[in-house]
């Protein structure tokens, strides 16, 4: 081999890793702001990544995903969003709890919420049809179906007289949901006490305020509850409370039942929105998705622990029965 050809070959070999890294750096990047923990979000993360793959976005090959986890701590949302701005991500994927902090940090990077309790009432978007601004996503409509959850709880426990509601009162949507639950309970002649939490350390003291005769616990979903749902269920079980959740994935750790939109399905649909944005669509022009799949799930193991007999007719209505 001639000396000049040999030097050219060496130069090309040395340049190849640099070229590969440069190409990798140009990958579209998703800032994935998980409001809870990787374990609690595992099925949702998998659903989102799988939908991206179906649409041709292969992690590490055609798209990069930067994962960050807030572990239910509100102060982490701004820190993570600020980091994403510094990294110049192309879109931020999160849930409604973190949207206010992300919006304060950036008004230009598109923000997609996989699920939000009340996106219009919370001020995330101008309207479901025309979001405006840099935010869009999927609505879980948790507030809208709150009264339905109370009704289901009452059907299962016809002698129900007093219930409690636990929710993060620093989260505006949870406060609105608490109000809806109280109104629904009042219509049924039920007493409904509120257990206020703002941090993980508030969960145990909240249960210490339970009034005598409380028979059930309505759990308002948010990132703080997500990160602490196992503890909430354990404490509820110890207090012999039948729990009603808005998210199916919260009841596996000792919860009794849930009714609400399929969060897994909402994360899949978030993949469609991210796909459109990465292809040039503007969040302002993408209507907020509304749930089409609602699930009633019952945990028979918890029912047995509470010595509750679930009527056969009630079980037949369930979309899933955990045994």
pLDDT tens-digit map of 251-281: 977 999 999 999 999 999 999 999 999 999 9
How large is the angle between the packed helices 223-238 and 38-54, nearest 10 degrees? 130
Query: How far from 159 is each of 71, 185, 208, 276, 310, CA to CA, in Å?
Result: 38, 13, 23, 50, 14
The per-residue pLDDT for 21 is 45
The per-residue pLDDT for 211 is 95
The per-residue pLDDT for 122 is 83
The per-residue pLDDT for 25 is 56
The per-residue pLDDT for 186 is 97
Q: Are 233 and 251 in contact (CB under 8 A)?
A: yes
The per-residue pLDDT for 15 is 42
**Residue 10 in tokens:** 């060496």
The per-residue pLDDT for 18 is 42
List, for the chain, all residue ranges whose pLDDT scores fall below the cut of 50: 1-24
For 274, residues 6+ apart whose C-beta sits below 8 A from its C-beta are 30, 52, 91, 93, 112
Q: Are 22 and 81 in contact (CB under 8 A)?
A: no
Sheet with 91-94, edge to edge strand ranges:
64-69, 29-34, 91-94, 111-116, 135-139
Task: List, in order of start, the domains of the chain with CATH numbers.
Answer: 6-140+263-292 (3.40.50.2300), 146-262+295-322 (3.40.50.2300)
pLDDT tens-digit map of 298-323: 999 999 999 999 999 999 999 999 98
């Amino acid at each position: 081999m001639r000396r000049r050809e040999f030097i050219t070959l060496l130069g090309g070999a040395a340049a190849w890793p640099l070229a590969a890294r440069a190409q990798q750096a140009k990958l579209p990047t998703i800032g994935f702001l998980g409001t809870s923990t990787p374990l609690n979000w595992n099925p949702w993360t998998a659903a989102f990544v799988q939908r991206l793959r179906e649409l041709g976005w292969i992690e590490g090959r055609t798209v990069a995903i930067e994962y960050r986890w807030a572990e239910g701590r509100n102060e982490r949302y701004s820190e993570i969003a600020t980091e994403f701005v510094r990294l110049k991500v192309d879109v931020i994927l999160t849930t409604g709890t973190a949207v206010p902090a992300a919006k304060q940090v950036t008004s230009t990077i598109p923000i997609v919420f996989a699920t939000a309790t009340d996106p219009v009432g919370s001020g995330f978007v101008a309207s479901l049809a025309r979001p405006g601004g840099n935010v869009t996503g999927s609505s879980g409509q948790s507030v809208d179906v709150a009264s339905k959850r109370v009704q289901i709880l009452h059907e299962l426990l016809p002698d129900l007289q007093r219930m409690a509601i636990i929710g993060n009162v620093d989260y505006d949507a949870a406060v609105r949901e608490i109000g809806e639950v109280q109104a629904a309970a009042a219509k049924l002649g039920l007493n409904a006490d509120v257990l206020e939490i703002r941090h993980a350390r508030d969960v145990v003291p909240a249960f210490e305020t339970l009034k005598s005769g409380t028979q059930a616990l309505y759990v308002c979903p948010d990132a703080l509850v997500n990160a602490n749902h196992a503890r909430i269920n354990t404490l509820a079980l110890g207090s012999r409370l039948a729990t009603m959740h808005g998210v199916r994935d919260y009841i596996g750790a000792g919860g009794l039942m849930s009714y609400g939109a399929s969060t897994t399905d909402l994360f899949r649909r978030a993949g469609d929105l991210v796909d459109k944005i990465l292809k040039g669509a503007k969040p302002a022009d993408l209507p907020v998705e509304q749930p089409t799949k609602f699930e009633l799930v019952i945990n028979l193991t918890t029912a047995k622990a509470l010595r509750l007999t679930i009527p056969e007719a009630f079980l037949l209505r369930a979309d899933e029965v955990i045994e």
